[in-house]
Chains A and B, each alone.
Chain A
Amino acid sequence: KQEVTQIPAALSVPEGENLVLNCSFTDSAIYNLQWFRQDPGKGLTSLLLIQSSQREQTSGRLNASLDKSSGRSTLYIAASQPGDSATYLCAVRWSAPLVFGKGTRLSVIA
């Protein structure tokens, strides 16, 4: 079964820290992988998309990496801010629909 796992489920860090969120998946034959952000009670905002042929993507303070052979992706957030507090979701595309992990709830403490 194609599954996506995110660890840890929750993370609390002081402001200014660099942090890494982890995502693992069971089948390396992916089209792409997306990272989303979700604020409480809100919808999903796409942060980064990494194509199957790519190793990483960057947007501002965010950097996402992809290692298909090991079935892993990481989302690196530099110099974290309280405004980064949200749930971060990893989703993998093996076919048309996305398969989601359960997310990592991030709290950045001022």
Chain B
Amino acid sequence: DAGITQSPRHKVTETGTPVTLRCHQTENHRYMYWYRQDPGHGLRLIHYSYGVKDTDKGEVSDGYSVSRSKTEDFLLTLESATSSQTSVYFCAISLAGGSSTDTQYFGPGTRLTVL
């Protein structure tokens, strides 16, 4: 298994509070991604990073920000959590971005509940 950890694995918070999720990799992969998974919607991209301090928005980026100050860590922040952000969040990594041989590997997920 690829060396990807996510913390926390479970979190319950209240509406309006800030929340930060952490993804840590030991593979030295350049690309890192944050997806959310919701019933009826599948996995959708929130943000991704193609290098330290280089990030781009995904399909569902509103209400989320990200930061990547080191190759191994990619942080996802909900500035003011809302109930619609209750979801399972997955981090993923890949070595390259536009290669036909490149595989994406996923972390174990973080289950976030916003009350």
Contacts and interface: CB of A to CB of B under 8 A. Distances in A.
Interface of A: 31-32, 34, 36, 42-44, 46, 49, 51-53, 89, 91, 93, 95-103
Given A51-B101, A52-B100, A96-B97, A43 B90 contact: yes
26 contacts: A31-B98, A31-B100, A32-B100, A34-B103, A34-B104, A42-B108, A43-B106, A43-B107, A44-B90, A44-B106, A46-B104, A46-B105, A51-B101, A91-B43, A93-B102, A95-B98, A96-B33, A96-B50, A96-B94, A96-B98, A97-B45, A98-B104, A99-B45, A100-B42, A100-B43, A102-B40
Interface of B: 31, 33, 35, 40-45, 48, 50, 58, 90, 92, 94, 97-109
Nearest to B34: A97
Closest 4 CB pairs of A and B: A96-B97, A102-B42, A51-B100, A44-B106
A48 to B, nearest CB: 10
Contacts of A103: 42
B112 to A, nearest CB: 14
Given A32-B101, A46-B105, A96 B31 contact: yes
A76 B6 CA distance: 32
Nearest to A50: B100
A89 B44 CA distance: 13
Contacts of B99: 31
